[in-house]
Amino acid sequence: MVISEHNGRNDRKLESVGIINALRRGTVPGAGLSRLAVGLSTEEKVVTSQLEYVASGHADCKFVRGEYGSGKTFLISRAVEIGQAQKFVTSHVVISPDTPLHKLQAIYAKICSGLTTGTEEHALKSIIDTWIYGIEDRLISTGIKEDDPQLTELTAKEIESVLARVSGLSSGLAAALRTYYQANNRGDFATAQSAIGWVSGEETVGRSFKSQAGVKGGITEGDALLFLRGLVYVMTQAGYSGLIVSFDEVETAQAFARPQREKGYINLRQIVDMIDRNELSNCFFLFAGTPAFFDSSKGIRSLPPLYDRIGIIAEDGFPNPMQTQIVLSKFDVEKLGEVSRKVMEIYADAYQEVDKNRVSPRFIKSMIEKVTGRFGGRVDVVPRLYLREFVDVLDKCALYENYQPMEKYAFVPGSGDTVLKEEEKAVMEVAW
The residue extents of the domains of the chain are: 12-117+240-327, 124-213, 333-425
Residue among 397, 368, 395 at smallest CA distance from 383: 368
Distance CA(267)–CA(273), nearest Å, equals 10
CB 125 within 8 A of CB 288: no
- In a structure prediction context, what are the per-residue pLDDT tens digits for the chain, which is 432 residues long? 444 556 667 889 999 999 999 999 988 888 888 898 888 889 999 999 999 999 999 999 999 998 876 788 889 989 999 999 999 999 999 999 999 999 999 999 999 999 999 889 999 999 999 999 998 888 888 888 877 778 888 888 989 999 999 999 899 999 999 999 999 888 999 999 999 999 999 988 878 898 988 988 888 999 999 999 999 999 999 999 999 999 999 999 999 999 999 999 999 999 999 999 999 999 999 999 999 999 999 999 999 999 988 888 777 777 788 989 998 877 778 888 999 999 999 999 999 999 999 999 999 999 988 888 776 666 666 678 889 999 999 999 999 999 999 988 765 444 444 444 444 444 444 444
Helices 224-237, 124-141: axis angle to 10 degrees equals 40
Please give the pLDDT value at position 381: 60
Predicted pLDDT at 373: 79
Packing angle, helices 149-169 and 224-237, rounded to 10? 140
CA–CA distance from 129 to each of 8, 137, 143, 235 (Å)? 30, 12, 22, 10
Beta bridge partners of 283: 59, 243
Rg of the chain's alpha carbons, rounded to an integer? Answer: 25
| Residue 374 half-sphere exposure toward CB, CA atoms < 13 A | 18
pLDDT at res. 1: 45
> Which element (helix H / strand E) includes 408?
helix 405-409
Look at residue 207 in the predicted model and tell me its pLDDT: 85
Domain 12-117+240-327: assigned CATH number: 3.40.50.300
